[in-house]
């Protein structure tokens, strides 16, 4: 006997109800208003202040055009600070890009997942220590008779009783040395996330082709994490161009302006000399410089995802 049960047609899915546009814009407007007040207005006002002789915010000032910019680029102190900034930023980009990648590679190639977790946790623990504490500890280690002097004296090396931060020839290299071995938790996590996201089939194919060790790192891993490299280069460049934390705590731009950088020059102009117009000019210059470096990095450092998107 044939079955009389007929197949029941599936009910068509109800189309998603589109929300009225005024509701969507209503949620966006508060965030946009906050961004305009706290982000864009200070930036635009800083551009205006850079073309005035403002000595104190709220006090009447005069429009002076590009006078502050001319004063900057005719100041030997500021011009020397640009060179110091380039040295520190270049060292920071190399250190911040290469060292975390090497550590992430070593963790990624551990056979035990438990040890991977332990090492990630160990390197992240450094992030719990405030940066001010780390810089102050290094300031003690680099001072006259500090830990580094004692190590040099114990090993019979030149450099004992040097005072690394009070000598014009060693102050800038000493600032670069702060944080050695420069293993930052954020950079390691960025690279480790990129390595974990690599398709295992690609790694298996590389192993079958005999690619291993440094050859695999350079020809397989690095091309596939260029997106993470691009990010760390940008972050390192921004930190190097804007940073003056160590100078503020340890050297105040000395000795003999040998560690002066534009960031500390801006702070000194604004809060020590009270020249808000000149300080704003430094801020505008740094913005243009960082924005240009970011555009160049985005244009010429291409990741595998960028190439895939062009197909």
Mean pLDDT per block of 10 residues along the chain (311 residues) reads 53 61 82 88 89 78 90 94 94 90 88 85 82 89 84 73 82 90 82 88 81 79 87 88 90 91 94 91 93 82 50 46
- Which SS3 state, helix, strand or coil, does residue 218 take? helix
- The pLDDT value given to residue 180: 86
Are the C-beta atoms of residues 299 and 111 closer than 8 Å to each other? Answer: no
CA gap 114, 128 in Å, rounded:
22
DSSP string of 68-82, one letter each residue: HHHHHTT-HHHHHHH
Backbone angles phi, psi at 53, to 5 degrees: -100, 35
Domains of the chain, start order? 68-308 (1.10.3720.10)
Q: How far lies 88's CA from each of 125, 158, 246, 277, in Å?
A: 25, 25, 11, 26
CA gap 212, 274 in Å, rounded:
59
Are the C-beta atoms of residues 164 and 171 closer than 8 Å to each other? Answer: yes
Specify burial of residue 130 (Cβ count, 10 A radius: 0-12, 13-18, 19+).
exposed
- Which SS3 state, helix, strand or coil, does residue 52 take? strand
| Token digits of residue 24 | 């969507």
Specify burial of residue 183 (Cβ count, 10 A radius: 0-12, 13-18, 19+).
middle
Q: Where are the alpha helices (DSSP H) in 109-183?
A: 113-124, 131-141, 147-155, 171-177
Q: Residue 63 forms beta bridges with which residues?
A: 52
Could you check whether the bond before residue 15 is cis, i.e. omega within 30 degrees of 0? no
Rounded to an integer, what is the distance from CA 174 to the centroid of its chain? 20
Q: Residue 52 forms beta bridges with which residues?
A: 63
Are the C-beta atoms of residues 152 and 160 closer than 8 Å to each other? Answer: yes
- The pLDDT value given to residue 257: 92
| Token digits of residue 202 | 């690609």
Count of residues in the chain: 311
Are the C-beta atoms of residues 230 and 216 closer than 8 Å to each other? Answer: no
CA gap 144, 166 in Å, rounded:
9
Q: How far lies 309's CA from each of 50, 90, 226, 305, in Å?
A: 41, 30, 14, 6
Cα radius of gyration rounded to whole Å, the chain: 27
């Amino acid at each position: 006997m044939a079955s009389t049960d007929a197949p029941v047609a599936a009910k068509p899915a109800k189309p998603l109800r589109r929300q009225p546009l005024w509701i969507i814009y209503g949620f966006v407007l508060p965030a946009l208003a906050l961004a305009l007040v706290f982000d864009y207005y200070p930036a635009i006002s800083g551009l205006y202040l850079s073309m005035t002789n403002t000595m104190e915010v709220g006090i009447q000032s005069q429009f002076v055009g590009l006078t502050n910019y001319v004063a900057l680029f005719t100041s030997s102190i500021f011009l020397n600070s640009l060179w110091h900034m380039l040295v520190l930023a270049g060292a920071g980009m190399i250190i911040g890009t290469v060292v975390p990648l090497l550590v992430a590679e070593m963790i990624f190639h551990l056979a035990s997942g438990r040890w991977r977790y332990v090492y990630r946790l160990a390197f992240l623990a450094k992030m719990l220590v405030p940066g001010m504490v780390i810089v102050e500890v290094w300031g003690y280690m680099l001072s006259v008779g500090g830990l580094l002097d004692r190590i040099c004296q114990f090993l019979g090396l030149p450099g004992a009783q040097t005072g690394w931060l009070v000598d014009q020839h060693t102050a800038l290299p000493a600032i670069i040395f702060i944080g050695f071995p420069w293993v930052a938790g954020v950079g390691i996590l960025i690279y480790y996330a990129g390595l974990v996201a690599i398709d295992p089939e690609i790694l298996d194919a590389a192993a079958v082709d005999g690619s291993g060790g440094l050859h695999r790192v350079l020809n397989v891993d690095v091309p596939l994490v260029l997106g993470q490299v691009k990010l760390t280069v940008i972050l390192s460049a921004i930190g190097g161009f804007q940073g003056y934390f160590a100078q503020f705590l340890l050297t105040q731009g000395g000795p003999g302006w040998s560690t002066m950088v534009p960031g500390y020059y801006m702070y000194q102009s604004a809060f020590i000399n009270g020249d808000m117009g000149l300080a704003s000019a430094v801020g505008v210059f740094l913005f243009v410089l960082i924005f240009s470096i970011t555009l160049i990095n985005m244009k010429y450092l291409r990741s595998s995802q960028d190439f895939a998107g062009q197909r």
